[in-house]
Amino acid sequence: MEPISDQTELLEQYLDGTLEADEAARVEALLREDAAMRDTLEQLRLERDLRVRVFASLEGGHREADAAAERFVASVARREHVRRLARMARFVAAAAAVVLIGFGIGWTGRAALDPQPGPVTPVAQGEAASYRVAVAVTDDAGNVVAVQPFSSIDEAERFSRDLKAWQDNRRQLEQGGVLLVGDRF
């Protein structure tokens, strides 16, 4: 054990209850023999009791401490409320951002999504309307093998005449007839 270098400090630690058991026993042995040391211990104990009283007096009343606690609890509740609102606002803002982004993407890409008209066909509606007469070409059995439209009756009649002359010439040739060179087709 170390020698006692500062009796007061040792007694303070004895009062604090922090000495090891053998150190405490040694102090108690010394106290039994030394009246001055007992007086010092008593003085230290009084000082200590006074300090503890002072610290205890700082506690204040229950009402004051309760009020402080309630103020804090209320501020925590307010803070949580604000935090919940902020969370909700963040969620709404995020949802709005998603909608806006989706709309933006849709708006930007609408040209790619819309069906494009194909190339203009050479047959215009007005042109089709101009075909007023059609000549049906039939075989020997009377089946229609072709239809030729014409824009006027004159053209259709001319085509029919030419076609008939060609058919007659061909039939005459097939029957061993003579084809006149001057015939026109």
Partner 1 sequence: MEQQPRNVDPTIALFERAVREHSRRLLAIARAIVGHRAAPEDVLQQALLNLYEHRHRYDWREPGGLMRRTVVNEALRILRQPRMTVVAEDHPGRGGSPDEPMEQDETVRAVREAIDRLPEHFRAALVLCEYEQMSYNEIAEVLQCSVAQVKTWLHRGRRQLAGMLKDYVEGKTRKSPDGTDQRSD
Footprint on this chain of partner 1 (rule: CB under 8 A): 6, 8-9, 12-13, 16, 18, 44, 47-48, 50-62, 64-66, 68-73, 75-76, 79-80, 84
Least distance from C-beta 93 to partner 1, angstroms?
Answer: 20
DSSP secondary structure string for all residues of 46-85: HHHHHHHHHHHHTT--HHHHHHHHHHHHHHHHHHHHHHHH
Least Cβ distance, residue 35 to partner 1 (angstroms):
20
How big is the chain, counted in residues? 185
- Give yes or no for a contact between 96 and 107, defined as CB atoms under 8 angstroms apart: no
The residue among 8 and 151 lying less far from partner 1, judged by its C-beta, is 8
Considering beta carbons, is residue 8 or 138 the nearer one to partner 1?
A: 8
Q: Could you tell me the smallest distance in angstroms from the CB atom of residue 114 to partner 1?
A: 46
Measured from the CB atom, the residue of 58 and 181 that comes closer to partner 1 is: 58
Q: Distance between CA 39 and CA 62 in Å, rounded?
A: 38
